[in-house]
């Protein structure tokens, strides 16, 4: 599919979703241990797919292919191009906003996950009038996030969010 789409990369997401009590045909130990190993196998799968594509075509043209993921294990950087901080809220706070993305990038860099990024302006938006809680990407949040990402992120990647019409987008003004 990478070849047919003429793609140069993809989001290799959901490497963290393995049930703690799952049953495996090839894993004879406690399944909760594999839960923590799965992100490494998920990263290896992407790396192996790119290698196989190169071998099948006797080329190295896919060596520049980039994929990013948010789940990881000790040796994941060996098999992953770039890490992504996950789905932050469109806020500036340290709990799950821009500040938390910066903390994640710094901590990741210190343990070997040196190439990382976050969704510019956050992703998870909430428009819940029942609870009178709103988490909306404002022009200020988007601008400040872009300013931070210029100096901290390996990728400068936008994302419209889970509620695009409710949030400021990069194309909304000059």
Domain edges within the chain: 1-84, 86-174
On whether the CB atoms of residues 88 and 100 are closer than 8 A, the answer is yes
- For 91, 131, 140, 168, the CA distances from 128, given in Å and listed in that order, are 16, 6, 21, 17
Measured in degrees and rounded to the nearest 5, phi and psi for residue 58 equal 50, 55
Mean pLDDT (the chain, rounded): 89
The CB density around residue 109, as the number of other CB atoms within 10 Å, is 14
Write down the catalytic residue from 4, 13, 30, 147. Answer: 13
* 15-26 b/e (C-beta count within 10 Å ≥ 16 → b): beebeeeeeeee
Kind and range of the H or E run holding 173: none
Q: What is the pLDDT of residue 132?
A: 63
Q: Which two tokens stand for residue 62?
A: 């896919």
- Report the pLDDT averaged over residues 117-124: 95
pTM of the model: 0.86
Residue 96 known to be catalytic: no
On whether the CB atoms of residues 125 and 135 are closer than 8 A, the answer is yes
Residue 13 known to be catalytic: yes
Write down the catalytic residue from 16, 64, 96, 147. Answer: 16
Q: What is d(CA 40, CA 16) in angstroms, rounded to the nearest whole number?
A: 10
Distance of CA 40 to the CA centre of its chain: 15
pLDDT per position as a tens digit, 50-79: 888 888 888 787 788 899 999 988 889 999
Q: Which two tokens stand for residue 121?
A: 């302006």
More confident residue, 1 or 30: 30
Write down the catalytic residue from 48, 63, 87, 96. Answer: 87
Kind and range of the H or E run holding 107: helix 98-110
Q: What is the pLDDT of residue 56?
A: 85
Q: What is the pLDDT of residue 172?
A: 95
Which residues contact residue 122 at a Cβ distance below 8 angstroms, ignoring those fewer than 6 apart? Answer: 87, 88, 89, 90, 91, 97, 98, 137, 141, 145, 161
């Amino acid at each position: 599919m990478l070849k047919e789409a003429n793609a140069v990369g993809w989001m290799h997401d959901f490497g963290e979703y393995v049930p703690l009590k799952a049953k495996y045909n090839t894993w004879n130990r406690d399944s909760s241990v594999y839960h923590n190993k799965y992100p490494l196998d998920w990263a290896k799968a992407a790396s192996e797919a790119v290698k196989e594509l190169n071998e099948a075509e006797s080329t190295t043209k896919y060596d520049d292919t980039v994929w990013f993921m948010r789940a990881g294990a000790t040796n994941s950087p060996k098999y992953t191009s770039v890490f992504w901080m996950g789905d932050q809220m469109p806020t500036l706070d340290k709990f799950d906003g821009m500040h938390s993305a910066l903390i994640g990038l710094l901590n990741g860099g210190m343990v070997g996950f040196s190439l990382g990024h976050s969704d510019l302006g956050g992703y998870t938006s909430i428009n819940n009038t029942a609870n009178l809680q709103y988490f909306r990407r404002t022009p200020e949040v988007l601008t400040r996030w872009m300013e931070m990402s210029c100096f901290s992120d390996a990728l400068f990647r936008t994302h419209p969010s889970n509620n695009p019409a409710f949030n400021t987008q990069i194309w909304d003004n000059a």
